[in-house]
Structure 1
């Protein structure tokens, strides 16, 4: 029979105003959860949303238009970039 390793947890402490605790207790009761479980779930949800929002790049309408224009009509390559591309082509052709 395989043994199940107990899940490890970390302890977090926070001070909370009595009126805020009353609201949290009521919300936890409504969901049928312990206060601790409710707080962990709420913190996790907020943390995930914060991370997702940090990973989204927001552009103004003008910036979106400029970005699209640059993709569709890129600026000419600088001479150094042209040389680098030619070097790359030679390297790849030589590797075959």
Structure 2
């Protein structure tokens, strides 16, 4: 008897409004991707974000104490971050003049 090969891919079917399909096709075209690849990548990325938001972080009591000590300690200023706060925002009218 011949053994059946296990499927590595599984189909998903969705019903979407025509406007949604048009937008997906346009975006996929801009990325040089097929509709299927574009939707798969977007869905997997969204799923990863949800899973990362709900991920439980475990640490030892000592590790947690060290973590809390760092959070409770004095602030160390980063010169690069301070410089960024002095730059005009891209939506600021002065941004174009100084760029």
Pair 1:31-2:31 in alignment: yes
**What are the within-5 Å matches in structure 2 for residues 51-66 of structure 1?**
51-55=51-55
* Structure 1: tracts of 5 or more residues without a match: 1-6, 58-67, 69-96
C-alpha distance in structure 1 between counterparts of 2:56 and 2:22, whole Å: 35
1:18-61 superposed Cα distances (whole Å, 9 cap, x missing partner): 0011000000000000000000000000000000011268xxxx
**Going by fraction, where is helix more abundant, 1 or 2?**
1
1:60 matched to which residue of 2?
none
Between the two proteins, the alignment pairs up a number of residues equal to: 54
Paired with 1:31 and 1:56, the residues of 2 have a C-alpha distance of: 34
Partner of 1:89: none
1:62-73 counterparts in 2 under 5 A? none
Which structure has more relative contact order (CA 8 Å, sep 6+)? It is 1
Summarize the alignment of residues 1-96 of structure 1 with structure 2, pairs less than 5 Å apart: 8-55=8-55
Rg larger for: 1
How does the TM-score come out when normalised to structure 2?
0.49
| Aligned Cα root-mean-square deviation (Å) | 2.2
Runs of 4+ in 1 over 6 A off after TM superposition: none
